[in-house]
């Protein structure tokens, strides 16, 4: 009998092949809580396939800076990034609309009993629901040392950046910090973190996609 897990998956960035491989490898059970860390699309080769797999899983995806940029651009509040324009061009109007609808529903953070997850970062000493949106989504750049100043009662899981000095490995301070963006779109790996046991499951990127665009 399997205990229900939380499975958190790092930045997918339109890498549908690696996303599919990782899901096949994990074969999540019905009771498992599946959480994507955000930046679902942009930079990678297959936004439509990624969106379709995401929809078929009916999982939670946190809002990343790339997701937010699409939403804000669609509302005339921001300029769409170059990689965003390319993603939009690669998608049918219908699927792009579905993506925007999905982004509207993406939470800025996830507060569970045994962990907190955000795509970007947190400022120390500020309650989760008062944290600036730009910080939570990673739209505002902070010095990499932001994570050294936190004082949380639970482990924090983030995506957005490769924090590890070891190539394609997640950055882990057990029980405190899990940085699980391991640069799949840059030819690194797509990483899943299984909580509560802290197990890591990874899939190698088939190639460095971002070098092409």
For Mn ion, the binding residues (CB under 5 A) are: 39, 64-65, 138, 160
Distance CA 195, CA 142 (A): 27
Q: Residue-wise over 170-183: b if at least 16 C-beta within 10 A, else e? A: bbbeeeebbbbbbb
Q: What is the DSSP letter of 183?
A: B
Distance CA 135, CA 207 (A): 30
Rounded least distance, CB 2 to Mn ion, Å = 31
Of 64 and 183, the one with the shorter C-beta distance to Mn ion is 64
Which three-class secondary structure state does DSSP give residue 71? Answer: helix
Of 5 and 119, the one with the shorter C-beta distance to Mn ion is 119
Of 10 and 138, the one with the shorter C-beta distance to Mn ion is 138
Closest CA to 152 of 180, 182, 108, 111: 111
Rg (alpha carbons) of the chain, rounded to whole number: 16
Rounded least distance, CB 143 to Mn ion, Å = 16
Rounded least distance, CB 1 to Mn ion, Å = 37
Of 5 and 181, the one with the shorter C-beta distance to Mn ion is 181
Of 46 and 181, the one with the shorter C-beta distance to Mn ion is 181
Nearest residue by C-beta to Mn ion?
A: 160
Rounded least distance, CB 58 to Mn ion, Å = 23
Question: ∠ at Cα 157 (86, 179), nearest 5°?
Answer: 65
Rounded least distance, CB 185 to Mn ion, Å = 11
Of 5 and 192, the one with the shorter C-beta distance to Mn ion is 192
Give burial (CB, 10 Å; 0-12/13-18/19+) of 136. buried
Neighbours of 51 (CB within 10 A): 20
Phi, psi for 196 (deg, rounded to 5): -90, -10
Rounded least distance, CB 74 to Mn ion, Å = 18
């Amino acid at each position: 009998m399997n205990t229900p897990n939380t499975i958190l998956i790092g930045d997918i960035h339109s890498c549908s092949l690696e996303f599919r491989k990782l899901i096949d490898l994990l074969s999540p059970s019905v009771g498992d809580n599946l959480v994507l860390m955000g930046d679902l699309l942009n930079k990678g080769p297959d936004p439509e396939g990624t969106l379709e797999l995401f929809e078929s899983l009916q999982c939670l995806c946190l809002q990343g800076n790339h997701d937010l940029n699409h939403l804000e651009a669609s509302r005339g509040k921001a300029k769409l990034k170059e990689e965003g324009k390319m993603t939009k061009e690669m998608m049918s109007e219908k699927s792009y609309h579905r993506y925007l609808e999905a982004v509207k529903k993406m939470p800025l953070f996830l507060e569970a009993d045994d962990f907190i997850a955000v795509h970007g970062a947190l400022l120390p000493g500020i309650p989760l629901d008062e944290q600036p949106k730009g910080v939570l989504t990673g739209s505002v750049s902070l010095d990499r040392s932001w994570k050294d100043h936190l004082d949380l009662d639970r482990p924090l899981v983030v995506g957005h950046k490769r924090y590890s000095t070891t190539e394609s490995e997640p950055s882990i301070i057990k029980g405190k910090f899990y940085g699980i963006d391991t640069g799949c779109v840059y030819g690194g790996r797509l990483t899943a973190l299984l909580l509560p046991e802290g197990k890591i499951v990874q899939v190698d990127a088939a190639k460095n996609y971002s070098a092409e665009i």
